[in-house]
Amino acid sequence: MFNIKVTIMTRKLQFLLTALLLSVGVTSAWAQSTYSWSVSDWENDNRGEVTVDGTSLKVTKVKNHLVGIKTKSSVTFKLPLRQTYLIVTGTGFASATNDPNATIGGKKTTAKVKETTRFVVDVTEGLKTLEMDFFGNVTVPQVSIIVMTNKGNDKNGNTDSVDDISEDNPTITDISFYQPDFLDAQTAISATQGGNSISTTTTTSSDKTSLKFTPTATSEIFLQITAPQYINPSNAFLVVESSTNFSDNTTKFAGVNDSGLYGYTGSNGAKTALTVDGHLVRIFSPAANNNAFLEKLVANEGSSAAKARFYLTNSTASEEVVFYRIGFYNLREIFDLYPSMKSMKWQHVSNSTLRMEKAADTGGLVIRDANNKVPSVAHGIAMFRILGDIQGKNELDYRNMVFADAVNPEAFTEDVISNFSNGSLKVLFSNSNTSYKYFPTMAKKVQIASSSYYQYKDEEALTGGKVNHGTPAKSVYSYTRKLNAGYSSMILPFAVEKATLTSLGITPYQFSNATEGGEVTFAKVSTDDIAANTPLVVNTETAGYYLIPAKSEVNTANTDISPNNYYATTASNGIKFVGSFVNEVPSGDYAAGTNCVNYGITTDGTKFAKMVNTTNTNYYRAFISDQRSGSGVGYAPAYLNVNFGGITGISDIEIKQNVMENDNAPIYNLNGVRMNADNLPKGIYIKNGKKFVIK
User: Residues 574-600: pLDDT tens digits?
Assistant: 999 999 999 999 999 999 887 898 999
Domain spans of the chain, in order of start: 2-180, 181-329, 566-694
Average pLDDT of the chain is 83
Least confident of 43-52, 63-72, 525-534, 644-653: 644-653
Total H helices, total E strands in the chain: 7, 52
- Confidence band, pLDDT 50/70/90 cuts, at residue 298: very high
Is the CB of residue 87 less than 8 Å from the CB of residue 117?
A: no
Is the CB of residue 313 less than 8 Å from the CB of residue 221?
A: yes
Instruction: Give residue 264's pLDDT.
Output: 47
- Confidence band, pLDDT 50/70/90 cuts, at residue 614: confident
Is the CB of residue 457 less than 8 Å from the CB of residue 444?
A: yes
> Per CATH, which fold does 181-329 belong to?
Jelly Rolls (2.60.120)
Instruction: Report the distance separating Cα 567 and Cα 579, nearest Å.
Output: 5
Residue range 461-468: average pLDDT? 88
Other C-beta atoms within 10 Å of 528: how many? 9
Question: In b/e form, how buried is each residue of 343-352, taking b as 16+ CB within 10 angstroms?
Answer: ebebbbbbbb
DSSP result, 147-167: EEBS--B-TT--BTSPPPP-T
Instruction: Give residue 382's pLDDT.
Output: 97
Is the CB of residue 546 less than 8 Å from the CB of residue 415?
A: no
- Confidence band, pLDDT 50/70/90 cuts, at residue 207: low
Residue 658 has pLDDT above 80, yes or no: no
Residue range 134-151: average pLDDT? 86
Is the CB of residue 291 less than 8 Å from the CB of residue 299?
A: no
Residue 7 has pLDDT above 70, yes or no: no
Name, in order, each residue with C-beta under 8 angstroms of 576's C-beta and a sequence gap of 6 or more.
511, 568, 569, 570, 624, 625, 627
> Per CATH, which fold does 2-180 belong to?
Jelly Rolls (2.60.120)
Instruction: Give residue 156's pLDDT.
Output: 42
Backbone phi, psi, residue 683, to 5° = 155, -170
Residue range 555-570: average pLDDT? 94
Q: Which H/E stretch holds residue 468?
A: strand 466-468
Instruction: Give residue 270's pLDDT.
Output: 58
Instruction: Give residue 631's pLDDT.
Output: 67
**Chain segment 355-409, per-residue pLDDT in tens:** 999 999 999 999 999 999 999 999 999 999 999 999 989 999 999 999 998 887 7
Is the CB of residue 288 less than 8 Å from the CB of residue 355?
A: yes
Residue range 290-299: average pLDDT? 90
Least confident of 47-61, 309-323, 447-461: 47-61
The whole-model pTM stands at: 0.85
Least confident of 73-77, 193-197, 663-667: 663-667
Instruction: Give residue 206's pLDDT.
Output: 61
Question: Percentage of the chain surpassing pLDDT 70?
Answer: 83
Question: Percentage of the chain surpassing pLDDT 90?
Answer: 47
Residue range 625-633: average pLDDT? 77
- Confidence band, pLDDT 50/70/90 cuts, at residue 663: low
- Confidence band, pLDDT 50/70/90 cuts, at residue 633: low
Instruction: Report the distance separating Cα 329 and Cα 386, nearest Å.
Output: 9
Instruction: Give residue 634's pLDDT.
Output: 47
Residue range 454-468: average pLDDT? 91
- Confidence band, pLDDT 50/70/90 cuts, at residue 8: very low
**More confident of the two residues 456 and 647:** 456
Residue range 515-544: average pLDDT? 92
Residue range 83-101: average pLDDT? 82
Distance of CA 295 to the CA centre of its chain: 19
Residue 343 has pLDDT above 50, yes or no: yes
Instruction: Report the distance separating Cα 541 and Cα 235, nearest Å.
Output: 33
**More confident of the two residues 590 and 148:** 590
User: Do the first three CATH levels of 2-180 and 181-329 match, i.e. the same topology?
Assistant: yes
- Confidence band, pLDDT 50/70/90 cuts, at residue 144: very high
Other C-beta atoms within 10 Å of 621: how many? 22
Instruction: Give residue 645's pLDDT.
Output: 65
Other C-beta atoms within 10 Å of 568: how many? 18
Residue 151 has pLDDT above 80, yes or no: no
Residue range 459-473: average pLDDT? 91
Coil/strand/helix, residue 640: strand
Instruction: Give residue 595's pLDDT.
Output: 84
Residue 666 has pLDDT above 90, yes or no: no
**Chain segment 494-524, per-residue pLDDT in tens:** 999 999 999 999 999 999 999 887 888 999 9
Residue 155 has pLDDT above 90, yes or no: no
